[in-house]
Amino acid sequence: MGRMDARKFFRSFRYAAKGIVRTARTEQNFRFHLAAGTAVVIAGALTGLSAAEWSVILLLIAGMLSLELMNTAVERVVDKASPEWHPLAGQAKDAAAAAVLIYAAASAVIGCVVFLPKWWNLFN
C-alpha cells in the first residue's frame, strides 16, 4: 500500500478491456447499444450540439454501456451460483434487466428532447 503500483494499475485496464471485448462477442444487446451509441455520436456531430448537450448524451451512452456490462456480470454470477432454476436467480436477472430497460427508455426520451427540436428547426 502507499506507493502506486503502475503494473497493477495497467493490468486492471487490461481486465476491463477484456470484459468489453468478451461482452461484445457474447451479448447481442451490448453490440446493439455500441452501434446505437456510435450512431448517436455521428448524428450529434452532424447536427451540432452544445457542450451541455454533448455532456448529457455522452453520459447517457456511457451509462447505457456500463449498465449492459453490469447486467452481463449479474447474468454470469447468477448462472454460476444457480445453474438450476430458482425464483431468486430469476428475480436477480429480472431486476438487472429492468435497470437496463428503465435507463434505455429514459435515454430514448432524452435523445428525442435534445435532437428533435433541432431537426424540426432544420426543416422549418
Ligand X SMILES: Nc1ncnc2c1ncn2[C@@H]1O[C@H](COP(=O)(O)OP(=O)(O)OP(=O)(O)O)[C@@H](O)[C@H]1O
Q: Which residue is nearest to ligand X (CB)?
A: 90
* H or E element in which residue 60 lies: helix 51-81
Q: Which of 18, 94, 106, 112 binds ligand X (CB under 6 A)?
A: 94
Q: How far is the CB of 96 from ligand X (least distance, A)?
A: 8
Q: Is 27 or 53 the residue whose CB approaches ligand X more closely? A: 27
CA pair distance 80, 98, nearest whole angstrom: 21
CA pair distance 64, 5, nearest whole angstrom: 31
CA pair distance 90, 22, nearest whole angstrom: 23
Choices 8-16, 55-63, 93-101, 104-112 (CB under 6 A): range interacting with ligand X: 93-101
Q: Are 106 and 114 in contact (CB under 8 A)?
A: no
Choices 35-43, 50-58, 88-96, 113-121 (CB under 6 A): range interacting with ligand X: 88-96
Annotated active-site residue 68? The verdict is yes
Q: Which of 9, 13, 85, 123 binds ligand X (CB under 6 A)?
A: 85
82 binds ligand X (CB under 6 A): yes
- Residue 90 CB: number of other CB atoms within 10 A? 12
Q: Is 36 or 110 the residue whose CB approaches ligand X more closely? A: 36
The CA–CA distances, whole Å, from 23 to 14, 37, 68, 103, 104 equal 14, 16, 9, 19, 18
Please report, as ranges, the residues that interact with ligand X according to CB under 6 A. Answer: 27, 29, 75, 82, 85-86, 89-90, 93-94, 97
